[in-house]
Amino acid sequence: MFCSIIRKLIKSLKSSLKKLEDLEDKASGIGIGSSSVGVGSSSVGIGSSSVGIGSSSTGIGSSSTGIGSSSTGIGSSSTGIGSSSVGIGSSIPNLDSNSWPRFKYLEGEIVGNLTKTRTMGLDDSGVIHSLGYKSDMHIETDTSTDSIKRNSVGYKGFIGNVEASDGYTYFLPAYQTSIGKLGRKTGSITLEKKFTSCPQVRSGAEGNDGIIYMPSYTKTLKIFSYLDGPPATSGVSGWTHKYVGAIYVEAVDKVFCLPRQGKKILIVNCADDTYEEVDLPQDYLAVANKNKNFHGFLAPDGWIYSAFWADTKCFRINPETYEVQWKDYEHEFMDGKPTAKEGSGIMSLGTGYSTTALVKGSDVYLGLAGTSRAIKLEF
């Protein structure tokens, strides 16, 4: 049966290629990878959305029958190489996928009870540099070997970083009077004295003028305006960390603020400055730790994910439909040990399983917090 299917596919492919040759005789400037005709095109050819290998109807990697199909076969859950919607070379993530990323521990361990780092800066050689939060740290994560190490010389007092257009990544001073600088070309770390006291900066962004704007955590600066609308409470009251971080999704022109201790996701529509809150699932809230998330990220699959804080559970939201899903990675954290605590090396939930996140290709690396082992999610 399988051979019969393959023969039919080959016959269909030959027919498609014949049509391609006919079209090439009639038109100029159309070739492989073209937006209308060619290998990986959106109309006719290998990996097309209508006919050929990796098509959306019939073929290897199709959505109905063949290798890599969503029902039977090996590989992709929907379409194939060069597809116009999902797959290698695709420009639109598969937001309908029910698959979750694979959890992996990196090689190497760095022990200690304190939250180790809240920064991650990638240099041009593929090494992630993380400077210390309240302990002297310079952790290097080698993405080519998936390993971590702690350098003998470390720095502390930094929260957040900005990858600037001048070739440097700047580590922001929370409990520091200097700004840390990573030369992305060389991988070198330097410090520049900038302040007479700790400015309590925890986030920042580079403007079109090349200036990095950094709001203070402890001071009210007149650089913002309030949006019109009801209070955004995240379903909690009192002295509670409602949200942490803000993730801009260009495809929908919206900002998503994931809750830390809150119960709702805040979504700001940049087109008209309106906002709304979306509830986290009740079954998730019934079992989740109060400190759910440290700082989320826009993943390679197009979903927005929470980063593990005091919990092994992760939630995600579809930025187009606002569907919210969640998954418990406790078994993965255990890694063959009796508990997640023993598997991860975490000393206290208050120090966190992870902090910030860095997306590199189809992988997401999570900042080392109170655990001794660092985490990677493979998409």
Q: 3-state DSSP call for residue 281?
A: coil
Average of per-residue pLDDT across 90-108:
80
Q: Which residue has the higher pLDDT, 244 or 104?
A: 104
pLDDT above 50 (res 42): no
Q: Are 25 and 18 in contact (CB under 8 A)?
A: no
- For residue 267 the two structure tokens come to 């979504």
DSSP string over 25-93:
HH-SS--TT-SSBSTT-SSBSTT-SSBSTT-SSSSTT-SSSSTT-SSSSSS-SS--TT-SSSSTT-SS-
Average pLDDT along the chain: 80
Question: Which amino acid is residue 123, in one-letter code?
Answer: D
∠ at Cα 251 (228, 95), nearest 5°? Answer: 115
Average of per-residue pLDDT across 217-238:
76
**The pLDDT of residue 219:** 61
Domain chopping of the chain, boundaries: 1-92, 102-153+233-378
pLDDT above 60 (res 86): no
**The pLDDT of residue 308:** 95
Q: For residue 332, how many C-alpha atoms fall within 13 Å in the half-sphere facing its CB?
A: 20
pLDDT above 80 (res 325): yes
What are the pLDDT digits (tens) for 143-169?
999 999 999 999 999 999 999 999 999
* 72 — pLDDT class (breaks 50, 70, 90): very low
* 299 — pLDDT class (breaks 50, 70, 90): very high
Please tell me the distance from the alpha carbon of residue 183 to that of residue 170, in angstroms, as a whole number: 9
The C-alpha R_g of the chain, in whole angstroms, comes to 24
pTM for this one?
A: 0.74
